[in-house]
Structure 1
Amino acid sequence: MKIQVALIAAATALVVATPAAANEARAEAHGGITWAAGNEEATAGIALGYDFDLGTSTFAGVEASADKVLQDGANVLFGASVRGGAKVGAGKLYAIGGFSFTEHDDAWHLGAGYEHKVGSNLYLKGEYRRYFDVVDVNTAVLGVGVNF
């Protein structure tokens, strides 16, 4: 009897968990380098997002982020983005674009990245973004995140 109850519980958990694996919320921390006009600075940030399945090989998602150039006087850069791309093996290859703003400035951004699952709900990522402002700014980051 205990085995039957355990099997029914496991089957129920699997059925209930399957949709969550297809459409995933995520949270991440990332860090890297920002460069523009001959200057380079370290940067760090966080992001929250949600990806939607568009079939077996593609996805689309939304993201909110906060990034800070690690320099005295630099403001936090808040962003709202959309992303989409292809599922490649255990990873996601994507393009991203959106709008970013600080207390005193704003800019559109475009970029590309790759996210690779390590374990059941952890991932590593690399991403490049270009911010289109008075002086165009480039950012390359590496990050670690969790899907839930």
Structure 2
Amino acid sequence: MRKIVLPLLASLALASPALANETRVEARGGVIWSNGTSEDTWGGAVGYDFDLGQTTFAGLEFSGDKIGTEGTKVAFGATGRLGVKAGTGTALYGAGGYTTEACDACKGQWHLGAGVEQKISGPFYVKAEYRHYFKNDVVADGDALVGGVGVKF
């Protein structure tokens, strides 16, 4: 087993993908707050980024995130990204989309945000992202700050 896994991991670490035209998978966690209360949140996402030129990209992301409090469920999201390549392995982006309800009595919310993604080694990256969730007739405005780690293919 080691004879297969170790060379595979080594080849992934030495691969040098570009910032776009690639699929990405990530795990993330952070904090979400609204109305003076805060809770932990965690989840994952899969996405694809497209080159728009030498310094710009656009992407799509599908996610599932869970607020770590009783009575919530996984909220699924669809998000678009638009960004710039800001140096070696760094991407800055804006994001916007829709997230389904996080509890049975809730409604889905539109969201906008911004983030930074940094390549750390080969196909691996870390990211930090802020999102604002907009008020609707049932759910108040909310904000989230998450960090993540992912891999690109």
The TM-score bracket by the shorter chain reads: 0.7 to 0.9
SS class of match (2:98): strand
- Partner residue in 2 for 1:118: 120
Runs of 4+ in 1 over 6 A off after TM superposition: none
Matching residue's letter, 1:124: V
Per-residue deviation at 1:120? 1.2
In 2: Cα distance, 1:67 partner to 1:137 partner:
14
Residue 70 in 1 paired to residue 80 in 2? Answer: no
Map Cα deviations across residues 66-120 of structure 1 (whole Å, 9 max, x no partner). Answer: 0000011112111001001100111110000001102541110000000000111
Equivalent residue letter for 2:91: K
Aligned to 1:136: 141
Q: What is the distance in 2 between the residues matched to 1:36 and 1:138?
A: 7
- The amino acid of 2:113's aligned partner reads G
Partner of 1:8 in structure 2? none
Give the whole-Å Cα distance in 2 for the aligned partners of 1:120 and 1:53.
19
User: 1:100 corresponds to which residue?
Assistant: 99
The answer to whether 1:38 aligns with 2:36 is: yes
Counterpart for residue 147 of structure 1: 152
In the TM superposition, residue 40 of structure 1 has moved relative to its aligned partner by 0.6
Unaligned runs of 5+ in 1: 1-16
Across the aligned residues of Structure 1 and Structure 2, the Cα RMSD in angstroms comes to 1.6
Structure with the largest fraction of strand: 1
Number of residue-to-residue matches in the alignment: 131
Structure 2: where are the runs of 5+ without partners? 1-14
Aligned amino acid, residue 125 of structure 2: Y
Aligned mates of 1:53, 1:120 — CA distance in 2? 19
How many Å separate the matches in 1 of 2:72 and 2:37? 14
After TM superposition, list the pairs within 5 Å mapping 1:14-33 onto structure 2: 21=18, 22-33=20-31
Higher relative contact order (CA 8 A, sep 6+): 2
For 2:63, the aligned partner's letter is S
Counterpart code for 2:96: G
Identity %: 51
Deviations 1:105-140 (A, max 9, x none): 111000000000011100000000011123001000
Of 54, 57, 77 in structure 2, the residue corresponding to residue 56 of structure 1 is 54
SS at the partner of 1:110? strand
- In the aligned structure 2, how far is the partner of 1:77 from the partner of 1:136? 16
